[in-house]
Amino acid sequence: MNTGGRLVAGSHNRNEFVLINADESARIRSVQELSGQICKICRDEIELTVDGEPFVACNECAFPVCRPCYEYERREGNQACPQCKTRYKRIKGSPRVENDEEEDDIDDIYNEFEYENGGIGFDQVSEGVSVSRRHSGFPHSDLDSAPPGSQIPLLTYGDEDVEISSDRHALIVPPSIGGHSSKSHPASLSDPTIAAHPRPMVPQKDLAVYGYGSVAWKDRMEDWKRKQNEKLQVVKHEGDPDFEDGDDIPMMDEGRQPLSRKIPIKSSKINPYRMLIVLRLVILGLFFHYRILHPVKDAYALWLISVICEIWFAVSWVLDQFPKWYPIERETYLDRLSLRYEKEGKPSELSPVDVFVSTVDPLKEPPLITANTVLSILAVDYPVDRVACYVSDDGAAMLTFEALSETAEFARKWVPFCKKYCIEPRAPEWYFCHKMDYLKNKVHPAFVRERRAMKRDYEEFKVKINALVATAQKVPEEGWTMQDGTPWPGNSTRDHPGMIQVFLGSDGVRDVENNELPRLVYVSREKRPGFDHHKKAGAMNSLIRVSGVLSNAPYLLNVDCDHYINNSKALREAMCFMMDPQSGKKICYVQFPQRFDGIDRHDRYSNRNVVFFDINMKGLDGLQGPIYVGTGCVFRRQALYGFDAPKKKKAPGKTCNCWPKWCFMCCGSRKKRQAKKVAADKKKKNREASKQIHALENIEEGSSVSKGSNVEQSTEAMQLKLEKKFGQSPVFVASARMQNGGMARNASPACLLQEAIQVISCGYEDKTEWGKEIGWIYGSVTEDILTGFKMHSHGWRSVYCTPKLPAFKGSAPINLSDRLHQVLRWALGSVEIFLSRHCPIWYGYGGGLKWLERLSYINSVVYPWTSLPLIVYCSLPAICLLTGKFIVPEISNYASILFMALFSSIAITGILEMQWGKVGIDDWWRNEQFWVIGGVSAHLFALFQGLLKVLAGVDTNFTVTSKAADDGEFSDLYLFKWTSLLIPPTTLLIINMIGIVVGISDAISNGYDSWGPLFGRLFFALWVVIHLYPFLKGLLGKQDRMPTIIIVWSILIASILTLLWVRVNPFVAKGGPVLEICGLDCL
């Protein structure tokens, strides 16, 4: 804009300037006359406001700044004008920032407090913070001849330079004789052709404080530009096939953008789903109104039992349904993560990660599977100096130790091969056995040759591991000995010292291409008789302490020994959430879904659990986050240490001047109370300060000594408090206080190993908060639910990450008995939590747990109790068929409509869930079937076992032993193992089949009129049989065989129940058969 040589000043009216001419009084000009401005920061044209006027950031000096630069300066910078240093005020349409004053003249509630996605639109500072001399009042100098593209700011803002002479001061006006220039100084001249002496407003003020204008700024500007160019450099992710050679993404465009975003479910899918949930609630209300007001008098007991069961099912449905009210999906930006934290020519700034792998018995958990998991971790796409893998051997097996030693040796070949050719997956067993096009996207001519050599090396590695397993089958009487002849310390699995061995990561151990390898550490904690070692939770807490001493990464990943990393960028996916500057600070863990290999195509026993991972977990992610499922989870170490989540800063109060003053009487009184409170606090602080001053005046020469002693005492008290919480290890306590991780300086490896041995001793956790408030929480075999619940109660939130390529894959038990035994363990843990003090029904109020999140946790510990009404309800159809009675009276038209509406709402709800959850109908139906199978078997036994364990102290285990096996693909699917869990569902199948036969026979014998009432009873009986059909197939096996023990027990129990019912309530009347005269003369 051209000011005509006049001084530009601010006005009391927004968007107006005052132009002071040399020979005329001030007059007001509209900003529309000053349009066409260019932002002096980003060089973009200044946009128009919603009123159609150019945007004005500073009303004091009119320094031209566009809205994105203005909002960035207020949000990230000094919140002041670069020219006059006046603090920016909030302008309508821009969000509030901290320390903003209350402004009654701005009515902008919608834009006042929140940023919109991408609303800032500018996250960079380019080409220097240059100041226009024609706006600043600079004198004409030789610098005016500089080209337009090299504008140099002429203010130092108080920084003096000895190389600048006093005649180059910015406020000294050289004589100017001649024509009037638009770049002249802003002094008021009566005649522009006559030179004027400077007339400062404050004559006694030193001119040096105003700064200097000279070519000395050129060096500073060049240095500033150099730093900006470093930020603008292009960073390409190593080995990422998604990046092409021509993809130049400047950091200032992408590097400061969010690393992830939420993707809400489309309203066309989620709104009908929510409406149907509300409609289903209404239908349930009408249904129970009808059921309660229409009892069945001739079968009152059956009616009452059925109503009680239905009420429980309705409550269970509410607990399961409403946490799915806000489902979301998430998307990550790995390229932005690299641009922000991996700059070319500089060390990576990605946070270190410690990976935990837990195993117990190498004979049940094959060492080859564990080795593949470890190899996939060592080859992960992450800086090698920022990954450490800790393997917990809770069985102290020499087989695991030797297998890990062989794995470390093979990793020297496998890791560089994977990173050189971008192999996926990086577990060799699954990479070589999967039927896939391994030449896809491979262009290196040596790939085929090296792949064949690597496959041969892996086969040799497998032979070595198999030889170790064969040797370990027969344990010598004197126990195992190590290569140096010393006995293996873990010969007694229940009485052995702690053991730590660093295989990789030490000096001199590199791969075959002389590159550094991630750290690999073997850990076996100490075990002694008489100590409660708390199973897996205790082993994981030992790994936390060992890693805190040896590496102390701020983030932890835990995986089971059979869950390998299927996506080499899994850690980067998690870091997109954890390291996000805006939203990452409150995230306690990132949970990945569990995916499985080796499951049959039909997934007979719902091993994939797709409904839970793709529907329920997405619903929880929209609340406070998914629950922790025990594996495939990246934790924040500080959250595991029991610290509270950072508190969210309270937003400034909203103001509005659109209502009369009398409407704000109550608000005004509240403001007055707040003002009085602030004034009282200030007075209190002043009194305390005055007391301290008077106390300091009375202190004599020995004050410094007493002050030092007080500091030492407070430090010692804090240290004692931390040791009481974390244990008697100064090294670990010091590491726990480091929020961003890191190691102590000048700590020798020998001292660290000695300290690590101490923290895995048996008595280290005595009288500490380990397992109570810190680490994995004790008290349940499902420590995962309890640990996640504690962190959510501290105000943390979690995130559900579902990358396109599954991050982790594992193996699942696909035969019926093993699957039921797995479900039994999960249900037993839920019963233990329900009967403990950590039950979400009564624990954690007043913390940071949201109420819908609490409902999900209540559902996770209450569901085993559903087995009682479920097994009763599944028995009712058989009883009704055997007795000829029914739980519902004669159905009217209104009742028919009500039942049809209820069943329709159930079906449509499932269809809509499948639609937004992207779940197939086969997976949904298998989940419904196994809910009934597990409910009448594993959940029922878990309930009784939990009650015995918690209330009576009786620890009962249901053992599973193999009976037969078949060869071929998915042979484990037909493998049958005897367990008492099979008896209840088999009994339900038999009595319902008997009931169907008896009911149909009775209808045939009684004539046409009896078929109508029979259909309702047959429907419920067939509902039970269809849901138990996968269980029936599992019993019959591949060759349609059923073990004799199952047939005997089931027939015996069914016969007893049937005979008992006939004895109590037979088909005939109590007084014997009723004989009526038929009217025929039989003689």
Catalytic center residues = 394, 784
> Pairing mode, if any, of strands 961-964 and 976-978?
antiparallel
The Cα–Cα gap between 792 and 640 comes to 11
Check: CB of residue 590 under 8 Å from CB of residue 633.
yes
Please write down the HEC assignment for all residues of 519-532. EEEEEECCECCCCC
* Cα–Cα distances in angstroms (integers) from residue 71 to residues 2, 91, 396, in the given order: 26, 10, 60
Distance from C-alpha of 502 to C-alpha of 756, rounded to nearest angstrom: 12
In the chain, the N- to C-terminal Cα span, in Å, equals 129
CA 245 from chain centre, in angstroms, equals 34
Residue-by-residue DSSP string for 138-202: PPP-GGGGS-GGG------TT---TTS-GGGBTT------SS--TTS-----SSTTS------SS
DSSP annotation of 637: H
Distance from C-alpha of 823 to C-alpha of 94, rounded to nearest angstrom = 54
The C-alpha R_g of the chain, in whole angstroms, comes to: 38
**What letter represents residue 614's amino acid?**
D
Rounded CA-CA distance 723/725 in Å is: 5
Contacts of 552 by beta carbon, 8 Å cutoff, 6+ apart: 637, 735, 738, 741, 742, 743
CB-CB contact of 424 with 586 (8 Å): no
Q: What is the DSSP letter of 949?
A: I
C-alpha span between 580 and 985 (Å, rounded): 50
User: Considering only CA atoms, which of 896, 876, 893, 891 is closest in space to residue 1017?
Assistant: 876
Residues 6+ apart with CB under 8 A from 489: 396, 496, 497, 499
Q: What whole-number distance in Å separates Cα of residue 1057 and Cα of residue 1047?
A: 15
Could you tell me how far CA 615 lies from the centroid of its own chain?
16
Specify whether the CB–CB gap between 237 and 334 falls below 8 A: yes
Question: In which element (H, E) is residue 321 found?
Answer: helix 300-321
Query: CB-side exposure of 716: number of CA atoms within 13 Å?
Result: 6
For residue 1004, count CB atoms less than 10 angstroms from its CB and return exposed for 0-12, middle for 13-18, buried for 19 or more: exposed
How far is it, in rounded angstroms, from Cα 753 to Cα 224? 46
Residues 6+ apart with CB under 8 A from 165: none
CB distance 88 to 76 below 8 Å: no
Which whole-number Å values give the CA distances from 616 to 319, 620, 1016, in the listed order?
A: 12, 6, 33
- Say if residue 683 is exposed, middle or buried (CB neighbours under 10 Å; 0-12, 13-18, 19+): exposed
Q: What DSSP character marks residue 763?
A: G
In 439-567, alpha helices (H): 447-472, 535-550
Half-sphere exposure of 334 (CA within 13 A, CB side): 20
Secondary structure of the chain: what % helix, strand, coil (to 5)?
A: 50, 10, 45
